[in-house]
Amino acid sequence: MLLGPDCEPAFGPVAFEESAMSSTEGRIAVVTGASRGIGRAVALALAASGGHVVALARTQGALEELDDAIRALRPGVQDSATLVPCDLKDYAALDRLGEALYRRWGRVDALVGNAGILGPITPLHHVDPKSWDDVMAVNVTANWRLIRSLDPLLRRSPAGRVVFLTSAAASRAELRAYWGPYAASKAALDALARTYAAETINTSQIRVMLVNPGPLRTRMRASAMPGEDPMTLKTPDDIAPKIVELCSPEWVQTGKLYDFPTDRVLSFAAPIEGAPRAS
């Protein structure tokens, strides 16, 4: 099924466990940035586990290719995905998305906020204001607008799960020079997700997790590290089953970070006074 620009129906250490995959059967999962990279891999993994994927991306052609891949995974299953060609900076469209999903299913079981942009890698005083605004719009504000639009639907799920893709660029002890827009946006996303986790833990069944994917073989990584050999990196297909597990009803932790490079769930902590400086 395809949702058009107005979001109206249009035709056109955490060990991975198999039980977590099967428990997503019939769950409605919204995935942003679903046309390539981590988002595409997660969409395929959710579909393979029996979920119905609501796939958001800017390019309709790439979404249709994803739909073909999902249909190949689930032959004989009609309407196994809903495609939403959408620019995440079109906030009114994100509002309409919530309305359309409510009319169709009355709930959303999982949100995977994967879409993000790198922005310029340059000194802060060289950053063009529009580039700064674009990074914040996609990496932060769009995710807040999705929370705003989908929170009532996630609360109607017996086990609403929210996963946001972050980066170590935001949380390492010594931040890298020249990564200002990206690092600032991911730090803001961390605070957004943790706040939402705190607001929902005692009032709903929603659980919210952040994921640090680490270096993976993606287009964004190639853009950031052009001299790196991509064949030395893990792929989005490697991390996708982990994210599916975080979307399952069995996942109960909230407000924490799943660190894929170490396969550990980490808690956030305040700075330690007098601690030695990190090397």
- Catalytic (active-site) positions: 182
Report the candidate in 41, 21, 43, 40 with the shortest Cα–Cα distance to residue 30. 43
CA atoms within 13 A on the CB side of 213: 30
Strand order in the sheet with 81-85: 9-10, 2-3, 81-85, 52-57, 28-32, 110-113, 161-165, 207-212, 256-259, 264-266
180's CB contacts (< 8 A; 6+ apart) are: 123, 124, 127
197's CB contacts (< 8 A; 6+ apart) are: 207, 208, 254, 255
Distance of alpha carbon 155 from alpha carbon 107, whole angstroms: 8
Taking phi over 0 as left and psi of -120 to 50 as alpha, with beta for the rest, 275 belongs to beta
89, two tokens:
């900076």
Distance of alpha carbon 77 from alpha carbon 135, whole angstroms: 38
